[in-house]
């Protein structure tokens, strides 16, 4: 059986605000839609790193007939992980977009990367991974 990751769905309270946040990080809108019915009636924004539909998609979704999700608490149930060119510059972009730094960037020689943990504008956790400082 062939297997491939298609998408990650992130349940948010405000699709438009979440879309602005992730686009500021460099993602591109692939599609927007509202569909489904009853408990699966959803407003969605589909994003990818290039705008192409054939790569892994981040789907920002709001279930319109269900209560808003609770604020995530550290360490949360799931983290998004993004490979970035500059961990500190991306942390600054996160803060400018209404998110915050949970753990500042630090070199992780055991993984040959620099890593930080941030939270988006709704509190979802994101691990930023980039090159180590020389």
Instruction: Please tell me whether residues 56 and 84 are part of one structural domain.
Output: no
- Whether residue 39 is predicted with pLDDT greater than 80 in this model: the reply is yes
Higher-confidence position of 109 and 2 = 109
pTM of structure: 0.92
Q: Which tens digits make up the pLDDT trace of 53-64?
A: 889 999 999 999
Q: What is the CATH number of the domain that holds 115?
A: 3.10.180.10
Handedness of CA 103, 105, 107, 110 (dihedral sign): positive
Instruction: Tell me what pLDDT residue 86 has.
Output: 97
Statement to judge: residues 44 and 12 lie in one domain: yes
Query: 59 and 15 in one domain?
Result: yes
Claim to verify: residue 56 and residue 92 sit in the same structural domain: no
**Cα separations in angstroms, 62 against 32, 47, 119:** 12, 15, 18
Q: How far apart are CA 34 and CA 42, in angstroms?
A: 5
Q: Is residue 115 part of a domain?
A: yes
DSSP 23-64: HHTT-EEEEEEEE--GGG-EEEEEEESSS-TTS-EEEEEEET
* Domain termination residue (choose one: 15, 33, 63): 63
Same domain, 55 and 85: no
Domain that holds residue 26: 7-63
Q: What is the mean pLDDT of the chain?
A: 95
Q: Residue 111 has which token pair?
A: 């993984």
Counting the structural domains of the chain, the total is 2
111 occurs within a structural domain: yes
pLDDT tier at 1, thresholds 50, 70, 90: confident
Q: What is the mean pLDDT of residues 22-45?
A: 95
């Amino acid at each position: 059986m062939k297997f491939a990751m298609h998408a990650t769905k992130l349940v948010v309270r405000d699709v438009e605000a979440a879309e602005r946040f992730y686009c500021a990080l460099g993602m591109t809108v692939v599609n927007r839609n509202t569909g489904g019915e009853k408990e699966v009636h959803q407003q969605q924004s589909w994003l990818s790193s290039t705008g192409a539909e054939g790569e892994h998609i981040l789907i920002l979704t709001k279930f319109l007939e269900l209560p808003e999700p609770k604020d995530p608490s550290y360490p949360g149930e799931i983290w998004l992980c993004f490979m970035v060119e500059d961990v500190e510059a991306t942390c600054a972009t996160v803060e400018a977009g209404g998110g915050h730094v949970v753990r500042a960037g630090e070199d992780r020689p055991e993984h040959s990367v620099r890593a930080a943990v941030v939270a988006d504008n709704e509190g979802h956790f994101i691990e930023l991974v980039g090159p180590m400082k020389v």
